Amino acid sequence: MPETVLQIDPRDNVLVALVPLTAGMTVQYGSGSCPVAESIAPKHKLALADLNPGDLVIMYGMVVGEATQPIVRGGLLSTRNTRHRAGGYTAQRHPVTFALPDASSWSGRTFMGYHRADGQVGTRNYWIVLPLVFCENRNVERMREALEEELGYGSSHNSYRPLVRQLVSKQAASGNGIAVDSPSRSERAFPNIDGIRFLTHQGGCGGTRQDAQALCGLLAGYIHHPNVAGATVLSLGCQNAESRMLMDELRARDPKLTKPVLFFDQQRSGRETVLMTGALEQTFAGLVEANRATRTPAPLSALTIGLKCGGSDGFSGISANPTLGYISDLLGELGGKSILSEFPELHGVEQELINRCVTNEVAQRFFDLMQAYSARAKAVHSGFEMNPSPGNIEDGLITDAIKSAGAARKGGVAPVRDVMDFPHYATKPGLTLLCTPGNDVECVTAQAGAGANLVLFTTGLGTPTGNPVAPVLKISTNSQLANRMGDIIDFDAGGIVNGESTIPECADQLLDLCLEVASGKRFTKAEEFGQNDFIPWKRGVSL
């Protein structure tokens, strides 16, 4: 018989409703039982004991709230009677160990990837075009129209399309293995290039020098990304984000500068036609070279996964998120990397993560970043407690600490190997914490900039978020969402809630899907829809 409620941790004084509960019924949990005092919707919480104002709410074995009004045993916790509260933390580690999953059955598995000269392995093969400053967004868009539409993706007028058509025809005639007609993936002009991605933004000038440095670091991360073969960079010429700044950031990530980076400066070029003709011709030549790459087997240690949740609900922390945590632990055992971000959604679990840090230095770095982020929020009369969205609250995440405790389960139980500030690049095998907002697109943009060649994104309410270079797999926390919004969901973890599957079983199935996506045998729903979201974080207060 399916469970009706769940006590996540034996120390908890609340239960999670898995199905609709009505007043007068009695629910069973473990060896105990609890009468239901009022109607409670799935995903919401009921008290296991009478709570008085000031009493702590315990969930996931930690403090997640405080009662503000009397709550009777079996009564509903809501924003009317509960407010945010979280446990304190220090930089002092109290080392802990957890049982890690057995990864032996995955040790010989491989995926088909693109091996780069710097040792990284891509799950896709892209060329990227990006501006150093927003002034060049129009020219980037003109390149998009000329390149994409001439390959059969649109029909609007663009005076540069004939040039691209001539380049395609000339290259096809030379016998270099490209197709003139490319109406579909299987018939694209460059069979071994998964696409050209165009990354426009609103930065590069007018902000602080720190903004320009952070933007260049992020863009360098995208150029260095294993899914990227090379880049075309458009510059106006007088902006804060200078080409030398970008190259310094790229050199910090790739000292040997193993990838082609083509720079075009409009002020030096003079007329737009000179800039655009040169950019198109040299980009086309770069595509010819990038098309020589082919997929070959790679070990799972070559994977770097971003761990993200968005549009979360009351089931996120008991189904999809712990499934990602199990995969993160598996991958770490195999030598792969995982990136847990969303620092506002780690508020309340800081001490647990600090205790898992491998060194005092790593723990101190996390402590300092969390303190600084919290201080910036308070300086503008905000705070982490304002993080839950109306949708989160409606579906059971009534405090930031409840949301955080569930969100942190994406990081599994393995040691925290590294802590990085935005926009640094992940290099250490195992779990890395990356300072980003919880904002869906800003976070995924940052994770890809840190090297994630796949992003696993859990959602209980539904979101279409994607990324220009990293495939984003959407995992539903409940089967109702998977059925209702199947056009954006790649995998359903709802079977964990209704008892049809366990977390390890679900993780094995999802990891199999990940390897198909990584090998190019499957495309994510976001990829099929062309959902290529890209928003650089300006290090302001974004929750």
Does the residue 169 lie in any domain?
A: yes
CATH of the domain at 65: 2.30.130.110
User: Residue 182 above 70 pLDDT?
Assistant: no
Does the residue 243 lie in any domain?
A: yes
Q: Which domain holds residue 256?
A: 122-296
**What pLDDT digit, counting tens, does each position of 404-443 carry?**
999 999 999 999 999 999 999 999 999 999 999 999 999 9
> Cis link prior to 464 (omega < 30° from 0)?
no
Does the residue 514 lie in any domain?
A: no
pLDDT of residue 157: 59
Pair (325, 282) in one structural domain? no
pLDDT of residue 186: 41
The DSSP secondary-structure symbol of 385 reads G
- Quote the tokens at residue 447: 């994770």
Domain boundary pick from 431, 465, 499: 465
Q: Based on the structure, what is the number of domains in the chain?
A: 3
Query: Structure pTM?
Result: 0.92
User: Residue 156 above 70 pLDDT?
Assistant: no
**What pLDDT digit, counting tens, does each position of 361-394 carry?**
999 999 999 999 988 888 887 777 767 788 898 8
Pair (317, 282) in one structural domain? no
Pair (184, 254) in one structural domain? yes
CA distance 7 to 516: 35
Pair (284, 360) in one structural domain? no
User: Residue 184 above 70 pLDDT?
Assistant: no
Does the residue 524 lie in any domain?
A: no
Q: Tally Cβ neighbours within 10 Å of residue 39.
A: 14
**What pLDDT digit, counting tens, does each position of 247-300 carry?**
999 999 999 999 999 999 999 999 999 999 999 999 999 999 999 999 999 999
CATH of the domain at 261: 3.40.50
Pair (406, 418) in one structural domain? yes
Across 319-337, average pLDDT: 98
Q: In Å, how far from its chain's centre is CA 335? A: 20
**What pLDDT digit, counting tens, does each position of 190-228 carry?**
889 999 999 999 999 988 899 999 999 999 999 999 999
Under a CB-based contact definition with an 8 Å cutoff, are residues 120 and 97 in contact? no
pLDDT of residue 168: 80
To 10 degrees, the CA torsion angle through 240, 241, 243, 245? 100
Does the residue 178 lie in any domain?
A: yes
Does the residue 538 lie in any domain?
A: no
Bridge partners, residue 82, by sequence: 67
CA distance 389 to 393: 6
| Burial (0-12, 13-18, 19+ Cβ within 10 Å), 193 | buried
Does the residue 113 lie in any domain?
A: no
In three state form, how does the secondary structure of 318-370 look? CCHHHHHHHHHHHHHHCCCEEEECCHHHHCCCHHHHHHHECCHHHHHHHHHHH
Pair (205, 284) in one structural domain? yes
Pair (155, 256) in one structural domain? yes
If you average pLDDT over every residue of the chain, what do you get? 92
Pair (453, 433) in one structural domain? yes
pLDDT of residue 394: 87
Domain boundary pick from 465, 491, 507: 465
Does the residue 502 lie in any domain?
A: no
In three state form, how does the secondary structure of 155-189 look? CCCCCCHHHHHHHHHHHHHCCCCCCCCCCCHHHCC
pLDDT of residue 445: 98
For residue 181, name the pLDDT band (cuts at 50, 70, 90): low
**What pLDDT digit, counting tens, does each position of 441-488 carry?**
999 999 999 999 999 999 999 999 999 999 999 999 999 999 999 999
For residue 306, name the pLDDT band (cuts at 50, 70, 90): very high
Pair (129, 275) in one structural domain? yes
- Quote the tokens at residue 249: 């950031």
Pair (409, 374) in one structural domain? yes
Pair (265, 317) in one structural domain? no
pLDDT of residue 170: 82
To 10 degrees, the CA torsion angle through 196, 536, 441, 128? 10
CA distance 173 to 420: 49
Pair (183, 273) in one structural domain? yes
pLDDT of residue 207: 85
User: Residue 539 above 80 pLDDT?
Assistant: no
Q: Which of 292, 252, 331 is nearest to 114 (CA)?
A: 292
Helix axes 272-290, 137-144, angle to 10 degrees: 50
Question: Pick the residue with more confidence: 497 or 31?
Answer: 497
- Quote the tokens at residue 438: 């919880």
pLDDT of residue 183: 39
User: Residue 135 above 80 pLDDT?
Assistant: yes
Domain boundary pick from 437, 465, 493: 465
For residue 185, name the pLDDT band (cuts at 50, 70, 90): very low
Helix axes 209-224, 440-449, angle to 10 degrees: 60
The pLDDT > 70 percentage for the chain reads: 95
**What pLDDT digit, counting tens, does each position of 17-66 carry?**
999 999 999 999 988 999 999 999 999 999 999 999 999 999 999 999 99
User: Residue 163 above 60 pLDDT?
Assistant: yes
